[in-house]
């Protein structure tokens, strides 16, 4: 009943105010891309974007009704939250005269049919597809990764002829989605044929501590340098997708570059924070998938002037029958990129096994089976000047790890 009521109020809100909708989907980088797009468009227009992971029909509907975070867990607060949402929505439908010009929304897929429902209820004019993993999260309810890809492709199929599909040129499956839409297409990425082309990237340091990065965008024969206060190649992809959206809305490269200087990542999504013993933490604790784990490890590996590269990695969930092999593969990948590996969880143990298969010595590897078990031992495992990556699926509660080792 609550779901139907929220959906009904959200569709009435869209009908009354008729905002433009930019929908973001993919297996990797949805949230950071959404935030980068919001940062760019907010420099020019009144924009609202979804908070946290409000990316299903209920969460998207909630965002349409207001600038809300996820409902609280406590029953009394939850009842009051939904009561206030519904009352406010009714009042705004009747009396409110203004509304955001644009909505930047994240469209997530857990099960077959999810995207059908999202585009039916909340049809977008612009779709952004980030990247699709070989072993994507939420694949457990699909017959294969290809079936999940087809579900996400429904977003670009639903676009009107006057719309735009913004596609990651470096992901072959995403690139081929241009054949599935009647909308205009624009490709971004490092590939030569990308309309919004990225040229290189370098990390910026202050007193040997990484503080940001720089890269160039080539568009329509014009070259523009960009500076970000975030780190990692995935953030370059997010920023370049945002550049494409900004261009569609008539912004020039200079204005877009200036806006992106203010782009930051949400807590636990790849931000750097001071740690104990003059270490610094690469906090990617919010969630994890095989591709996002690899990308985070690659960022850690690319950083210069780092005394030791330490990775604290845990279980990746919602990947079904691919779980064991994915964790073993992650361990093999990590072995050549970190100086010390700390793994946590029943599945995390397979990360350690994979690392040993790839030649990691036992004195560089520590295994714990729960987050709580690991907490008292972390201080002894971290040394002065370490750069520490913290990453696992949300249910592992690795925010506790970050809290334990951050500078206080």
Residues 235 and 374 in one domain: no
Flag whether 17 is in a domain. Answer: yes
Residues 293 and 208 in one domain: no
Flag whether 57 is in a domain. Answer: yes
In this predicted structure, what is the pLDDT of residue 290? Answer: 94
Residues 200 and 106 in one domain: yes
Spell out the residues 6+ positions from residue 381 whose beta carbon is closer than 8 angstroms to its own: 310, 340, 342, 366
What span, in angstroms and rounded, lies between the C-alpha atoms of 42 and 21? 14
Structure tokens that stand for 256 in this block: 């877009």
Tens digits of per-residue pLDDT, 132-151? 988 877 788 898 999 999 99
Residues 232 and 312 in one domain: no
In this predicted structure, what is the pLDDT of residue 405? Answer: 98
What span, in angstroms and rounded, lies between the C-alpha atoms of 28 and 248? 23
Spell out the residues 6+ positions from residue 254 whose beta carbon is closer than 8 angstroms to its own: 224
In this predicted structure, what is the pLDDT of residue 134? Answer: 84
Structure tokens that stand for 351 in this block: 């990360």
- Residue 281 contacts residue 390 (beta carbons within 8 Å): yes
Parent domain of 36: 2-260
Flag whether 369 is in a domain. Answer: yes
Flag whether 204 is in a domain. Answer: yes
Flag whether 371 is in a domain. Answer: yes
* String of DSSP letters for 293-343: HHHHHHHHHH-SS-S-EEEEEE---S-GGGHHHHHHHHHHHHHTT-SEEEE
What span, in angstroms and rounded, lies between the C-alpha atoms of 408 and 394? 23
Q: Which of 146, 240, 142 is nearest to 199 (CA)?
A: 240
Flag whether 266 is in a domain. Answer: no
C-alpha distances (whole Å) from 262 to each of 38, 144, 208, 241 are 11, 39, 22, 16
Question: 160: domain CATH number?
Answer: 3.40.1190.10
Question: pTM for this structure?
Answer: 0.95
The residue ranges of DSSP E strands in 132-254, in sequence order, are: 164-168, 184-189, 196-206, 209-219, 222-228
Question: 327: domain CATH number?
Answer: 3.90.190.20
In this predicted structure, what is the pLDDT of residue 172? Answer: 96
Residues 356 and 209 in one domain: no
Flag whether 265 is in a domain. Answer: no
Residues 231 and 376 in one domain: no
Domain end point (choices 260, 283, 308)? 260
Q: Could you tell me which residues are beta bridge partners of residue 189? A: 197
Residues 223 and 326 in one domain: no
Number of domains in the chain: 2
Residues 202 and 96 in one domain: yes
In this predicted structure, what is the pLDDT of residue 408? Answer: 84
pLDDT below 70 — which residues of the chain? none
Average per-residue pLDDT for the chain: 95
Residues 283 and 380 in one domain: yes
Q: For strand 126-129 and strand 365-368, is the pairing parallel, antiparallel, or unpaired?
A: unpaired
Flag whether 393 is in a domain. Answer: yes
Residues 308 and 356 in one domain: yes
Domain end point (choices 204, 229, 260)? 260
SS3 166: strand
- Residue 331 contacts residue 357 (beta carbons within 8 Å): yes
Q: Could you tell me which residues are beta bridge partners of residue 367? A: 343
In this predicted structure, what is the pLDDT of residue 320? Answer: 86
Residues 244 and 282 in one domain: no
Domain end point (choices 260, 291, 315)? 260
Sheet holding 340-344, edge to edge: 271-274, 280-284, 387-391, 309-314, 340-344, 365-368
Tens digits of per-residue pLDDT, 238-252? 999 999 999 999 999
Residues 176 and 302 in one domain: no
């Amino acid at each position: 009943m609550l779901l139907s009521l929220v959906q009904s109020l959200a569709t009435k809100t869209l009908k009354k105010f008729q905002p433009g909708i930019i929908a973001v989907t993919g297996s990797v980088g949805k949230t950071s891309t959404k935030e980068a797009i919001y940062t760019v468009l907010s420099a020019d227009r009144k924009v609202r974007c979804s908070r946290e992971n409000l990316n299903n029909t209920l969460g998207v509907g909630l965002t349409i009704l207001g600038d809300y975070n996820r409902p609280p867990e406590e029953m009394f607060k939850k009842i009051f939250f939904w009561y206030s949402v519904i009352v406010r929505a009714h009042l705004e439908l009747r009396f409110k005269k203004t509304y955001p010009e644009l909505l930047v929304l994240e469209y997530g897929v857990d099960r077959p049919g999810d995207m059908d429902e999202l585009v039916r209820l909340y049809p977008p004019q612009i779709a952004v597809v980030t990247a699709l993993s070989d072993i994507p999260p939420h694949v457990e309810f699909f017959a294969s990764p290809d079936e999940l890809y087809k579900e996400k492709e429904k977003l670009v199929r639903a676009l009107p002829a006057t719309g735009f599909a913004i596609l990651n040129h470096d992901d072959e499956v995403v690139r081929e989605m241009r054949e599935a839409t009647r909308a205009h297409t624009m490709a971004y990425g490092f590939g030569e044929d990308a309309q919004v082309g990225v040229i290189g990237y370098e990390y910026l340091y202050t007193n040997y501590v990484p503080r940001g990065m720089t890269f160039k965008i080539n568009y329509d024969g014009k070259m523009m340098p960009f500076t970000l206060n975030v780190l990692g190649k995935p953030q370059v992809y997010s920023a370049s997708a945002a550049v494409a959206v900004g261009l569609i809305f008539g912004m020039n490269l200079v204005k877009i570059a200036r806006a992106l200087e203010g782009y930051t990542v949400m807590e636990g999504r790849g931000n750097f924070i001071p740690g104990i013993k003059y270490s610094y933490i690469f906090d990617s604790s919010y969630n994890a998938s095989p591709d996002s784990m690899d990308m985070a490890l690659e960022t850690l590996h690319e950083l210069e002037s780092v005394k030791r590269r330490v990775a604290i990695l845990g279980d990746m969930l919602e990947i079904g029958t691919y779980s064991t092999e994915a964790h073993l593969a992650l361990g093999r990948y990590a072995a050549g990129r970190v100086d010390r590996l700390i793994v946590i969880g029943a599945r995390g143990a397979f990360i350690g096994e994979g690392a040993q298969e790839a030649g990691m010595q036992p004195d560089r590897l520590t295994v714990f089976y729960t987050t709580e078990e690991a907490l008292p031992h972390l201080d002894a495992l971290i040394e002065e000047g370490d750069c520490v990556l913290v990453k696992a699926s949300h249910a592992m509660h690795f925010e506790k790890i970050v809290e334990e080792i951050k500078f206080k």
